[in-house]
Amino acid sequence: MNFRSKPLSLQFINVPPANSQPPVGLIVALHGWGANAEDVASLLPYFQLPNYQFVFPNAPYPHPYSAVGKAWYELRMENMYQGLAESRQLLTDFLQSLESSTGVPLSRTILCGFSQGGAMTLEVGLKLPLAGLTVMSGYLHPDALPKGQSQIPPTLVMHGTQDEVVPLSAAIKTREALQSMGFTVDYLEFDAGHEINLQMLEALRNFVLKTIA
């Protein structure tokens, strides 16, 4: 597997609003390391947002230990973060292209992600004029903080207190780093492990409805 060769495009699952009307907003949901777009798309009924369009991208790289899993970048120690720059550019271009393909502007687009997808949400989303960001069991890359920006999209950080993969300290660090730059962050902890549970999806739904009023 080579994380250096630049991937050309993102494959994705596109789900228009259930009511066949023009979407009220757009939600782009990013999976974690070793998962794929189908995994997150399977949660669609629990979002309970029938008026919204959903886009579930597949990360561009194959996962080293899973035939069906995908990766946004390398997480093994010997090549840590390899492929991140390519995925960052690819995801940024992809998000900016969605306005013309869906008719929904970035100002009505929510970017959310789980685990490595949550890290990519911060990596890309903090620097784009999106409606909002939701990070579930994610973490902040070393150089992800925007420089010289006076504002960022409304951001919700959620994490399980029993997370055995990405420790709770990663969420606290994210919150403190953003707050130290003068940004406001919504922050929620749940009695949960490394997972997307129904409480998180309900909080995400409330955040979406509040943000895209």
Task: Decide if 92 contacts 128 (C-beta within 8 A).
Answer: yes
Provide the whole-model pTM: 0.95
pLDDT in tens, 182-194: 999 999 999 999 9
Higher pLDDT, 49 or 1: 49
pLDDT in tens, 58-90: 999 998 888 899 999 998 888 889 999 999 999
172, containing H or E segment? helix 168-180
Distances (CA, A) of 29 to 2, 5, 13: 25, 24, 10
Q: What percent of the chain has pLDDT over 70?
A: 96
